Amino acid sequence: MNNDNWGARARIGMFIVSSEAVPEAEWQAMAPPGVSIHAARVTARAPWATWRNDHQGVNLADDLARGCRQFADMRLAAMVIAHTSSSVSGGKGWDAAVIAEMRRIVGDDVHVTTNGLDTLEALNTVGAKRPFIVTPAWFGDPAVSASERYYADHGFEPAGYMRYDPGGKWRDFPPGELYAHGMGFAQEIESLYRQIVDGCPPVADAVFIAGTGFRCVAIIEALETALGCPVITANQASLWRCLRFSGVDDEIQHYGALLKPFRQAPG
């Protein structure tokens, strides 16, 4: 019989930006056999859950709450808010608050995580203290500043920051308008590779590429070879952590030191 990608080993749910194709494509490229990926799309602005007035909890965006209700019946092993921007704009404590609210809907049998927590854990797992942080071109100054605060608040001392320069015709658009004009489907990983290699400071002990809509997993291995340090990407980190939460510990080739050899995620 032929493979039907039934998810016999694990089913993982991911919440992604409504108009993006990159997260599913990159997860499907990296996922081991027997693991199926299921996406729910969110149209809300970041963050996808807003703090209540007393700052003691969050209210989920309608799409996020609806997706949780749908995922609750799908016998998932894990689910993730695959959105770097929500974690960094929500700030310290947001990840835990949104997970608690989601668990009210899906119960305690499903591991729930966020891209922010996944990237923090991945950086810690590879021993990074001073990562070089790379953000997509469509991250405006507020998003870049929020990223700086988020990783600093969690104990990292970044060696530097770089916002990808898409060049050419894209320079006429402010960051917030790039996606609306097609930037998300015109990403060039060759120029991204060159900019990271040229811009990474020698003192960096890792590279972190933020943004689940940022096409980049195809260059992880080449970057690690060129720079001699681990490379963490948003989608790679969330897949890794969801796999480990699901009990899938396969060594995955060609997508970075995080995925080979097997590295243990937290319980």
- All CATH 3.40.50.1860 domain ranges of the chain, comma separated, are 119-234
d(CA 257, CA 193): 17
Q: What dotted CATH number matches 10-115+242-252?
A: 3.40.50.12500
> Domain 119-234 adopts which CATH fold?
Rossmann fold (3.40.50)
Q: Are 47 and 39 within 8 A, CB to CB? A: no
* DSSP code at position 235: H
Q: Are 149 and 135 within 8 A, CB to CB? A: no
pTM: 0.96
Which residues, 6 or more positions from 64, have their beta carbon under 8 angstroms from its beta carbon?
A: 15, 42, 44, 48, 49, 81, 102
Residue closest to 241 by CA, chosen among 10, 6, 3 = 10
pLDDT tens-digit map of 38-59:
999 999 999 999 999 998 999 9
pLDDT for the residue numbered 265 = 55
pLDDT tens-digit map of 98-148:
999 999 999 999 999 999 999 999 999 999 999 999 999 999 999 999 999
- All CATH 3.40.50.12500 domain ranges of the chain, comma separated, are 10-115+242-252
64's tokens: 């996020």
CB-CB neighbours of 170 under 10 Å: 17
